[in-house]
A and B are shown apart, each in its own frame.
Chain A
Amino acid sequence: EVQLLESGGGLVQPGESLRLSCVASGFTFATYAMSWVRQSPGKGLEWVSSITAAYESKHFARSVRGRFTISRDNSANTVHLQMSDLREEDTATYHCVKGRDGESERISGGWDEWGLGTTVTVLS
């Protein structure tokens, strides 16, 4: 059974930083692209960032580029999202999601497993 367990969310003030982590199990982590998708309270979904498997290519939404970084530790089956200079509009539940197609550098093939998410609240 695939499991994605996020942690690291919390309440911060604008301009502060947080590091989210996602520990994965139940699949060969190193062969799948991993991403973060966020959902603001009562609103829609927004793709945040992706990191591919083999080459660890990193991609970011325009809204977070330059403030967020993504990394993975295949030895620990973990993906991290380092968030800095947080803004009130970053308030959301952040879901760790697994790419559907393994052995691929695609980030576009859909996400077939979702974690329950960790909540980030940015409030002055």
Chain B
Amino acid sequence: QSALTQPAAVSGSPGQSITISCTGTRDDIGEYDYVSWYQQHPGKVPKLIIYDVHNRPSGVSSRFSGSKSGNTASLTISGLQAEDEADYYCTSYVLAGILFGGGTRLTVL
């Protein structure tokens, strides 16, 4: 069970859209529609922003959306705002366990 692969960093300007990828294998992301995404601001605990690939918990902005194709899941943030600057982590279910991605630092330019 290896960690999922995310880009270390992405950046975008306010108002733009960015996409963060999360690549796994046919045994995790490819097998299950159980991908979640978390946002973590410095010094804070992570916050769930997407579950089951594309579902948003109550209260999470519609600017956040999730998708999956094959072994890769993606998080798209549209209409970037300064407050979106944070670390983002994906997770996927794998047989009897959960894998995390290494995290992506989003910088809003």
Contact = CB atoms under 8 A, between A and B. Distances in A.
B48 A100 contact: yes
Report, as a range, how many residues of chain B touch the other chain: 20 to 34
Main secondary structure, interface of B, reads: strand
Contacts of B40: 45
Interface string B52-68: 10000100000000000
A50 to B, nearest CB: 7
B109 interface: no
Contacts of A106: 34
Given A44-B102, A111-B46, A112-B57, 17 more contacts: A44-B101, A45-B100, A47-B100, A59-B96, A62-B1, A95-B45, A100-B48, A100-B51, A100-B57, A106-B34, A109-B34, A110-B48, A110-B50, A111-B36, A112-B48, A114-B45, A116-B45
Interchain residue pairs A-B with the least CB separation, the first 3:
A110-B51, A108-B93, A108-B34
Interface of A: 35, 44-47, 50, 59-62, 95, 100, 106-112, 114-117
Interface of B: 1, 3, 32, 34, 36, 38, 40, 45-48, 50-52, 57, 89, 91, 93, 96-103
